[in-house]
Amino acid sequence: MSRNLILFGPPGVGKGTQGARLAREYGLLVIAMGDLLREEVRNETALGVKAKAFMDAGELVPDEVVVGMIESRITADHASGGFILDGFPRNVRQAEALARMLEKHELTIDRVIFMQADESVLVERLTGRLICSSCGFGFHRHYSPPKIEGRCDHCNGELYQRDDDREDVISSRLQVYDEQTSPLLEYYSALDSFRSVDAVGDIDEIYARLQAALD
Ligand code: AMP
């Protein structure tokens, strides 16, 4: 069974949703860079204050900030059963820094999974996305609405829309993805561990495709 995974693909492709499910089923630790950064912003740490302006504009936070956050996470005890990197690396420089770190700690990545969907699908998913402020579970206004409006089905927490899921910021994020993150396809696609998964359609079918990609 594959243990250390990288999930990459454009914003809104479902890395968070599907990654959480894979993590539950296979006992893996999710290391989601966006979540780590949002926590720093919420706690108003120096790092969070620095990152916020970039995040609000839909731009990438500087490499030295995010690279510095990864090493302790992939080498932590609770990551030893396997981890899923979601949202990192997001450009080739970060991928190179990750490769150096993995080598230093004698770690390997068993699967690099690229999730893909057309831009129209991504925009629809992002603009309707609602997240539980308490447990982080994701809903969608139309495709998977909560049973009670504004409340999480699982923990009754309050649902919110991410600041950067507004249409103007979404277009910047998609542009940043095209310019800076999509070159990772060329960087990773030559590896034996590389798999590409169609992330359009029913959520369970997409999950089944991901499971197949892990075998
Ligand atoms: P996400 O939750 O993955 O959509 O990330 C939200 C925002 O956090 C992004 O738009 C970036 O501003 C920032 N971010 C997340 N991961 C990275 C990364 N690997 N490098 C730089 N910025 C990042």
Encode pLDDT of 55-80 as tens digits: 999 999 999 999 999 999 999 999 99
The CA distance from 174 to 180, in Å, is 10
The CA distance from 207 to 14, in Å, is 10
Q: Which of 59, 60, 69 most suits a substitution to test ligand 1, by most atoms within 8 Å of the C-beta?
A: 60
**Is residue 2 predicted with pLDDT exceeding 70?**
no
Ligand 1 nearest atom to the CA of residue 176, by list position: 10
Q: Which of 6, 36, 52, 90 most suits a substitution to test ligand 1, by most atoms within 8 Å of the C-beta?
A: 90
Query: What residue owns the CA closest to ligand 1's atom 6?
Result: 34
Rounded average pLDDT over 140-144:
93
Cα(89) to centroid(ligand 1), Å: 9
The CA distance from 17 to 141, in Å, is 15
Per-residue b or e along 134-158, where b marks 16 or more CB atoms closer than 10 Å to that residue's CB: eebbbbbeeeeebeeeebbeeeebe
Rounded average pLDDT over 83-102:
98
- The pocket around ligand 1, CB under 6 angstroms, is made up of 11, 33-34, 37, 54-55, 58-61, 66, 87-88, 90, 94, 164, 173
Identify the structural domains of the chain with CATH numbers, from first to last: 4-117+172-214 (3.40.50.300)
- C-beta separation of 184 from 92 below 8 A: yes
Give me the pLDDT at residue 215, please: 87
Catalytic residues: 15, 90, 129, 162, 173
pTM: 0.95
**Is residue 11 predicted with pLDDT exceeding 60?**
yes
Ligand 1 nearest atom to the CA of residue 35, by list position: 2
Per-residue pLDDT of 14-26, as tens digits, reads: 999 999 999 999 9
**Is residue 1 predicted with pLDDT exceeding 70?**
no
Query: What residue owns the CA closest to ligand 1's atom 3?
Result: 34
| Distance from the Cα of residue 18 to its chain's centroid | 9
- C-beta separation of 111 from 83 below 8 A: no
Among 82, 92, 95, 112, which Cα is nearest to 213's?
Answer: 112
What does pLDDT average to over the chain? 95
Percent of the chain topping pLDDT 70: 99
Rounded to 10 degrees, what is the CA torsion of 75, 79, 81, 82? -90
Cα(168) to centroid(ligand 1), Å: 16
Among 214, 24, 201, 3, which Cα is nearest to 113's?
Answer: 214
Rounded average pLDDT over 142-163:
95
Among 132, 135, 136, which Cα is nearest to 151's?
Answer: 132
Rounded average pLDDT over 195-207:
96
